[in-house]
């Protein structure tokens, strides 16, 4: 049986189930805690520390990382008091130092009312904040083309040995979830190029629009075959035509009710 826990966020009384993550609880209650590495679809990474908040429990105050902080007992939460603003400013400043060209960081600072010190913006300077979202997305999908490699100041996101990865399927998820647009890719009608590999596009079997790469489509089909052995393989459909096909199925099913 799940237990209900009461908490107060920025003065607003809320409830949640024991163990829910604080950032998500706040979000459900209309309070958006600033974040950079957290992504709805992926498990919390706790890497960027932008989501820090102050938690007061039985008179004791602590600063916690809200995206990976499970609410276990009655607490009072402050998501943007002076203390948190100052600390978050520090975190963003460090991220901006790490990646002087990351627009995402500058935007986040602007959004949260934090003034970043003037930084030397280098031509071609770094934009990656090493949050790990891209790696997490790649793994969540069942591939493992990229990883955080090296450590300390030489840490970076890369494919094994910096070579085009055989595990890459060209799905583009890494570039899609990156908060700072750090992953270069190139898309044309026929092909999609990412991490040093060029992939042929898959066209929709109905409207003919290229909607993913052939490798990514084959990967998904293989995954589906694994979940439901013996299930009929679906023809390649773009999002739009896929929706229409489902709608048609529902309409048809309705006929026999």
Partner 1 sequence: MEERIREIAQRYPAEKRFSLAVLQDVQREFNYIPPEALPLIKEHLGPDVREGQLYALATFYKALSLKPKGKHIIKICDGTACHMQGSTRLITAVQLALGIGPGECTPDGQFSLELVNCVGSCALAPIMIVDETYHSKVTMEGLPAILDTYRPGGERDV
Task: Give contact residues for ligand SF4 (rule: CB under 6 A).
Answer: 128-134, 157, 178-180, 182-183
Residue 70 binds which entry of partner 1, ligand SF4, ligand FES, none, CB below 5-8 Å type-dependent: none
Nearest Cα residue to 25 out of 60, 58, 74 = 74
Residue 161 binds which entry of ligand SF4, ligand FES, partner 1, none, CB below 5-8 Å type-dependent: partner 1
Report if residue 160 touches partner 1, rule: CB under 8 A: yes
Strand (E) or helix (H) holding 186: strand 185-187
Residue 197 binds which entry of partner 1, ligand SF4, ligand FES, none, CB below 5-8 Å type-dependent: none
Binding footprint of ligand FES on the chain (CB under 6 A): 35-38, 46-51, 65, 67
Among positions 17, 86, 115, 167, the unique one binding partner 1 when judged by CB under 8 A: 167
Q: Are 165 and 146 in contact (CB under 8 A)?
A: yes
Q: Could you give the CA distance from residue 2 to residue 8 in angstroms, rounded to a whole number?
A: 19
Which residues, other chains included, contact 63 with Cβ-Cβ below 8 Å and sequence gap of 6+? 52, 53, 54, 55, 83, 84, 87
Residue (40 or 189) nearer to ligand SF4, CB: 40
CB of 103 to ligand SF4, least distance (A): 11
Strand (E) or helix (H) holding 194: strand 191-194
Residue (161 or 256) nearer to partner 1, CB: 161
Residue 149 binds which entry of partner 1, ligand FES, ligand SF4, none, CB below 5-8 Å type-dependent: partner 1
Nearest Cα residue to 100 out of 180, 35, 195, 179 = 180
């Amino acid at each position: 049986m799940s237990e209900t826990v009461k908490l107060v966020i920025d003065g607003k009384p809320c409830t949640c189930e024991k163990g829910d993550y604080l950032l998500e609880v706040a979000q459900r209650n209309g309070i958006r805690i600033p974040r950079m590495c957290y992504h709805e679809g992926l498990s919390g990474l706790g890497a960027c520390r932008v989501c820090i908040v102050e938690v007061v429990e039985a008179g004791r105050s602590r600063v916690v990382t809200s995206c990976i902080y499970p609410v276990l007992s009655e607490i009072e939460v402050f998501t943007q008091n002076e203390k948190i603003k100052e600390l978050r400013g520090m975190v963003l400043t460090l991220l901006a130092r790490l990646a002087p060209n990351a627009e995402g960081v500058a935007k986040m600072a602007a959004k949260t009312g934090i003034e970043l010190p003037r930084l030397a913006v280098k031509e071609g300077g770094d934009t990656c904040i090493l949050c790990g979202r891209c790696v997490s997305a790649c793994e969540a999908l069942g591939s493992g083309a990229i990883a955080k490699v090296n450590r300390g100041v030489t840490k970076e996101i890369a494919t094994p040995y910096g070579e085009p990865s055989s595990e890459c399927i060209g799905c583009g998820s890494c570039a899609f979830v990156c908060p700072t647009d750090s992953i270069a890719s190139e898309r044309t009608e026929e092909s999609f190029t990412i991490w040093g590999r060029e992939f042929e596009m898959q066209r929709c079997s109905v409207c003919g629009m290229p909607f993913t790469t052939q490798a990514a489509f084959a990967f998904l089909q293989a995954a589906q075959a694994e979940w439901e052995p013996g299930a009929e393989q679906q023809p390649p459909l773009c999002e739009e035509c896929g929706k229409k096909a489902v709608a048609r199925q529902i309409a048809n099913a309705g006929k026999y009710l």
